[in-house]
């Protein structure tokens, strides 16, 4: 943690830890929003099969694929960051290497997310009306 002295007292200057904290909250809210939507569309099955089938057809549209890619990215990042936090909870001395763990997490995220995003977006591109 980098502290900068000011007239009002120490002020936190930010860094990768702050970005990890913010991204963890944002991805958590994104996954929560998806789960809320999923509960609603599953509830639609009780309304009738036509309503449910129309909802599922919406998800099959080419323009919906990027949202699925974002969901996978959010779940992957949230899971990796959660594992990093668990490591710090069980072994507090590892928190001294917080920056290194955060960068390692970003590398693991990129390695895991890039191929998934490529293949999913490629299929969306192939089925889009713009090709």
Let me know whether 128 and 100 are in one domain.
yes
Q: Which of 93, 109, 98 is nearest to 21 (CA)?
A: 98
- Which stretch of 70-79, 90-99, 103-112 has the lowest confidence by average pLDDT? 90-99
* Residue 16 domain-assigned (yes or no): no
Let me know whether 55 and 81 are in one domain.
no
* pLDDT at 3 exceeding the cut of 60: no
* Residue 79 domain-assigned (yes or no): yes
Parent domain of 127:
62-131
* Residue 75 domain-assigned (yes or no): yes
* pLDDT at 36 exceeding the cut of 80: yes
Let me know whether 48 and 96 are in one domain.
no
Let me know whether 86 and 124 are in one domain.
yes
Let me know whether 92 and 130 are in one domain.
yes
Average pLDDT of the segment spanning 92-119: 95
Residue with tokens 């057809």: 57
Let me know whether 105 and 46 are in one domain.
no
Backbone angles phi, psi at 10, to 5 degrees: -65, 145
For residue 128, name the pLDDT band (cuts at 50, 70, 90).
confident
Let me know whether 118 and 54 are in one domain.
no
Residue 95, CB-side half-sphere exposure with 13 Å CA sphere: 10
Let me know whether 118 and 67 are in one domain.
yes
Let me know whether 56 and 66 are in one domain.
no
* pLDDT at 64 exceeding the cut of 60: yes
Residue 126 confidence (pLDDT): 86
Structural domain count of the chain: 2
Proportion of the chain above pLDDT 70, given as a percent: 90
- With 0.85 as the threshold, say if the pTM is over it: no
């Amino acid at each position: 943690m980098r502290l900068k002295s000011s007239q009002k007292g120490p002020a936190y200057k930010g860094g990768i830890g702050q970005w990890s904290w913010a991204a963890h909250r944002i991805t958590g809210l994104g996954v929560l929003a998806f789960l809320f939507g999923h509960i609603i569309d599953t509830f639609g099955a009780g309304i009738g099969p036509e309503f449910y089938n129309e909802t599922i057809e919406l998800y099959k549209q080419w323009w919906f694929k990027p949202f699925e890619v974002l969901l996978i990215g959010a779940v992957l990042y949230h899971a990796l960051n959660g594992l990093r936090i668990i490591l710090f909870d069980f072994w507090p001395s590892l928190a001294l290497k917080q920056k290194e763990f955060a960068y390692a997490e970003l590398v693991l995220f990129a390695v895991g997310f890039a191929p998934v995003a490529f293949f999913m977006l490629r299929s969306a591109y192939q089925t889009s009306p713009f090709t």
